[in-house]
A and B are shown apart, each in its own frame.
Chain A
Amino acid sequence: MWVTAVLMRLNTGLLSMLRHVARHSWLVLCVVGMLGTNIAVMLDRGTPWRGDLVWTIDWLTIGHVLVGPLVAGFAAVDTVRLSIGVRDLPLRGWRNADSAVGLTYGMALAAVHLVFVSVIIAVSAPPRFDAAAALAVLTQIAILWFFVGLGVLIGRFAPPILGGIAAAILGLVCVYMFTDPRSPTGLLYGGAATVPRMGYSYSAAWLGIQLAAILTMLAAMWLVRPAWGRSRLRLAALSALGLLLAAGASQVFAAAPGERLSASVRGPESCGSLAGVPWCYFPEHERVIGGYANHLLALFDAAQVNGYEGFVPDAVEEASQTTWPGDANTGPFYVTSDALAGTPPTLWEVTINLVQPLHCKQLQAEQAPADQYWEDLYAVTATWTNMVDPSAAEQAGYFGESLDPSDAERIMEKFRTCTYAFE
C-alpha cells in the first residue's frame, strides 16, 4: 500500500519530533490560555447563542483578540527556544525547529478547537444543521494557524528576548487590521458576532476562498526563513516570492463574491396556533418562545374581548435578521438577544413589533417619518397594551389616552397595507 509507504517514509522521526515539542514547549500553557479565554467568552452576556448554530460558532471568535496574540507569542517564544543549536543547520523539509513547533502547535490547537466547538454545539443543541458550518469551523482553525505561522515566522528572525512581544504585538495589530467584517481586508474574520445570526446561513464559496487565502498566506510565511550560510540572495528571493504569494492571496480574497453570510432560505418552521391565530417561529428559539406566546395570547384575547378585532392579524410569524414578515395579513414578532440571554420580553416590546409597519418601503427610505407617525404608533400600541396591562405603556414612557376602536383600527389597517401617510 502506497499510503503505508508514505507513512513509513515520514517515519517515526516526525512523530517523535512532535512529541518532543509538545512536551518541551509552552504548548500546554498556550492551550490553557486559549481554553480559558474561550470559556470566559462563551459564558459572557448570558449565553444568548444557545440554540442557534451559526451564532454558536461565530460567537467563539470574539476571544480572538486575546487568543490570536497569545498563540503568536507562545509560538514565537518556543521557536526561538527550540531552535537553539539547530538554527544554522541546513536541514530540509520539516526537519527545522520552526516547522516542528509550527506543526505541533497547528495540530494541537486544531484538535483543541474541534473538541471545544463540538462541546459548545452539544451545549447549544441546535435543531437544524448546515453542512457549510463545518467549513466555517475549518476556517476558524486556519485563522488559528495563521497566528501560529506568524509567531513561528517572527521566532525565526527575532532575538530571544523580543520574539514573544514582537509576535504578540503583531498578532494584536493583525486582529485590529484584518478582522473587520465590512472590509475587503477581513481575512481573519471568523464571525465574532454579538448580534443574533437568525436568518443567516454560511456562504460556502466565500468561506472556501477565505480558507484558501489563509492557507496561501501560511505557505508564504513558511517560505521566508533565514538563509543558510551566506546565501542572502536566497533569503531575498524567497521573501519576494512569499510577499508575492501573500499579495496574490489578499487580492483573490478581496475579490471574493458575496459575503461570509447570506440570507437563509430556511424560515420559521415550527408552527402552532395562538387563540385561533396560526403562528410560526424558528425552532432555534424554542427555549424562550413561551414568553412571547404568553404576551401574544393575552393581546389577542384582550383585543377580541374589548371590540378591537381588527387588531388581531390573520397569522403571526417570527422575524429574523434578514426578514420582517409583516404584510396586510401577517403580524411579526422578533426575539431579541436580551430575551435569548434570559430577560423575559416586555409586553410593550412585543406589541410595538406587532404594530409598527417595518415591512413598508416608506420606512426603509432615507427620510425619517413625520412626527405624526410616531404619535400614532405609540397611541395604537398603548391602546392595545392598556387592555392587557394598564401600567405597560407608562413603564415604556407613554402617557397618552387609549384610542377608540374605529380610530385605532383605521390606523392599524393603514399600517398593515402601507397606505399610511408616513411623510
Chain B
Amino acid sequence: MRRLAVFGTCRMILAATGVHGSLSLLAVALTVTLIWHNGVIASIGPIHLQPQLPVMAAVPLLLAVAIAVSHVGARTPVIFRNSRTLAARGFSHAMIMAAAAIVLFVGDALAVDPVLAASMRNALFLSSLALLGASFAGVEYAWLPVLVAFGSAILSPADGGPWSPYGLLMSPSVLPAQIAVGAALCASSLLIAAWNPVRPAYLVRRSAERKPPKVLKQVSMTA
C-alpha cells in the first residue's frame, strides 16, 4: 500500500510539470533511434562532414532538451520552496535522464558500429547546456545553447583538438577525460537546475511565522 503511494507521488511529480513535453521529445528521439540507428549524416547541405556523423550522435540534441524541460518552474507562487520541492525538481530531471540513457543504450544495441561513447559524451555536454539554459533563462529557451553549441561544432574546423566544439560534439574519437568532464558538468548542472536559482516564484512564509513564538522562548529560558 505504501509502495503504491510512493509510486503515485512520483507519477504526480512528473505529471504536474513538464513531463508531457519531455515525453514527446523522448518519443521522437526513440523513433529516430529505432529507424535510423545505423544512419550517418554525410553532409548538411553543402558542408561535408568528414568523418561522417552517426545519427545516434545527433539524437542527444533532442534528449538534452527533453531532460531540460522535464520540470517546468512555477510561474505563479503557489508552492513553498523547501527541500521536498527541490528534490522533486531533481527527481524529474534525473528520471528523464535515465530514460534518455535507455534510448542511447537501445541505439547502441541496435547499431552495427559502436556509437555509445560518442552519443553519451554528446548527451552529457548538451544536457548540461540545456539544463543551464533552462535554469537561467527558462525552459522555453533550453534549445538555444544546445543549438548554438551544435551549430558551432558543425561550422568549426576539425583540427581544434579534443576540447574544441568539434572535438566535443562531432569527433568520433572519445577520450575518457571528455566523459569525466561531461559527467561532472552534467551533475553540477543537475544540481543547479534542481536548486532553480533565478525562478523564485515560490510562496514565501512571513518572517514572523518562521521565528519561534516568544512564549516558547521564555519557557525554554526558565527551564
Cα(A33)–Cα(B41), bound, Å: 25
Cα(A201)–Cα(B152), bound, Å: 30
Q: Which of A123-131, A158-166, A277-285, A404-412 lines the interface with chain B?
A: A158-166
Cα(A63)–Cα(B21), bound, Å: 29
Asked if A164 contacts B154 (CB within 8 A), the reply is no
Quick one: which of B20, B43, B69, B144 contacts A73, CB cutoff 8 A?
B144
Q: Which residue on chain B has the smallest CB distance to residue A186?
A: B45
Q: Which residue on chain A has the smallest CB distance to residue B58?
A: A172
Kindly supply a per-residue 1/0 record for chain A positions 158-184, scoring 1 wherever the CB is within 8 Å of any chain B CB and 0 otherwise: 011111110011001001100111000
Quick one: which of A161, A176, A192 contacts B69, CB cutoff 8 A?
A161
What are the residues of chain B within 8 A of A181 when measuring CB–CB?
45-46
Is B139 interfacial (CB 8 A cutoff)? yes
> How distant is B23 from chain A, measured CB to nearest CB, in Å?
11
Q: Which residue on chain A has the smallest CB distance to residue B151?
A: A66
Interface residues of B in 47-106 (CB under 8 A from A): 47, 61-62, 65, 69, 72
What are the residues of chain A within 8 A of B72 when measuring CB–CB?
161
Is A255 interfacial (CB 8 A cutoff)? no
Kindly supply a per-residue 1/0 record for chain A positions 70-83, scoring 1 wherever the CB is within 8 Å of any chain B CB and 0 otherwise: 10010001001100
Quick one: which of B61, B69, B140 contacts A169, CB cutoff 8 A?
B61
Asked if B46 contacts A179 (CB within 8 A), the reply is yes
Is B147 interfacial (CB 8 A cutoff)? yes
What are the residues of chain A within 8 A of B139 when measuring CB–CB?
161
Cα(A33)–Cα(B44), bound, Å: 20
> How distant is A41 from chain B, measured CB to nearest CB, in Å?
7
Cα(A180)–Cα(B43), bound, Å: 9
Known A-B contacts A73-B147, A168-B147; the reply to A163 vs B140 at CB < 8 A is: yes
Interface residues of A in 26-76 (CB under 8 A from B): 33, 37, 40-41, 44, 62-66, 69-70, 73
Is B142 interfacial (CB 8 A cutoff)? yes
Asked if A66 contacts B155 (CB within 8 A), the reply is yes
What are the residues of chain B within 8 A of A333 when measuring CB–CB?
none
Quick one: which of B45, B47, B154, B157 contacts A189, CB cutoff 8 A?
B45
What are the residues of chain A within 8 A of B125 when measuring CB–CB?
none
Cα(A164)–Cα(B62), bound, Å: 12
What are the residues of chain A within 8 A of B46 when measuring CB–CB?
62, 179-181, 189, 192-194
Interface residues of B in 130-176 (CB under 8 A from A): 139-144, 147-148, 151-152, 154-155, 157
Interface residues of A in 311-336 (CB under 8 A from B): none
Give the interface size class of chain A.
35 or more
Known A-B contacts A41-B155, A65-B155; the reply to A165 vs B143 at CB < 8 A is: yes
What are the residues of chain B within 8 A of A189 when measuring CB–CB?
45-46
Cα(A329)–Cα(B173), bound, Å: 52
Known A-B contacts A63-B155, A161-B139, A162-B24; the reply to A175 vs B44 at CB < 8 A is: yes
Cα(A63)–Cα(B152), bound, Å: 9
Q: Which residue on chain B has the smallest CB distance to residue A191?
A: B46
Known A-B contacts A40-B155, A176-B44, A192-B47; the reply to A70 vs B141 at CB < 8 A is: no
Asked if B47 contacts A62 (CB within 8 A), the reply is yes
Give the interface size class of chain B.
20 to 34
Asked if A66 contacts B25 (CB within 8 A), the reply is no
Interface residues of A in 58-112 (CB under 8 A from B): 62-66, 69-70, 73, 77, 80-81
Cα(A193)–Cα(B46), bound, Å: 7
Asked if A165 contacts B44 (CB within 8 A), the reply is no
What are the residues of chain A within 8 A of B69 when measuring CB–CB?
161-162, 165
> How distant is A184 from chain B, measured CB to nearest CB, in Å?
14
Q: Which residue on chain B has the smallest CB distance to residue A69?
A: B147
Kindly supply a per-residue 1/0 record for chain A positions 181-208, scoring 1 wherever the CB is within 8 Å of any chain B CB and 0 otherwise: 1000000110011100000000000000
Most central of A41, A63, A175 by chain B CB within 10 Å: A175
Interface residues of B in 18-48 (CB under 8 A from A): 18, 20-21, 24-25, 41, 43-47
> How distant is A50 from chain B, measured CB to nearest CB, in Å?
19
Quick one: which of A33, A77, A165 contacts B148, CB cutoff 8 A?
A33
Cα(A390)–Cα(B205), bound, Å: 87
Cα(A192)–Cα(B41), bound, Å: 18
Asked if A159 contacts B151 (CB within 8 A), the reply is no
Q: Which residue on chain A has the smallest CB distance to residue B69?
A: A161
Quick one: which of A64, A70, A80, A159 contacts B21, CB cutoff 8 A?
A159
> How distant is B104 from chain A, measured CB to nearest CB, in Å?
18
Interface residues of A in 131-173 (CB under 8 A from B): 159-165, 168-169, 172
Cα(A77)–Cα(B141), bound, Å: 8
Excluding A179-B44, A192-B45, 19 further A-B contacts by CB distance (< 8 Å) are: A37-B155, A40-B152, A44-B157, A65-B45, A65-B47, A65-B151, A66-B148, A70-B147, A73-B143, A160-B140, A161-B18, A162-B21, A162-B25, A165-B25, A165-B65, A165-B69, A168-B144, A169-B143, A175-B44
Q: List 25 A-B contacts (CB under 8 A).
A: A37-B151, A37-B155, A40-B152, A62-B47, A64-B45, A65-B44, A66-B148, A66-B154, A69-B147, A69-B151, A81-B140, A162-B21, A162-B25, A162-B69, A163-B140, A164-B141, A164-B142, A164-B144, A165-B25, A165-B65, A165-B69, A168-B144, A175-B44, A180-B46, A189-B46
- Residues of chain B having any CB pair with chain A under 8 Å: 18, 20-21, 24-25, 41, 43-47, 61-62, 65, 69, 72, 139-144, 147-148, 151-152, 154-155, 157
Chain A to chain B: the 3 pairs with minimum beta-carbon distance, closest first: A66-B151, A179-B45, A165-B143
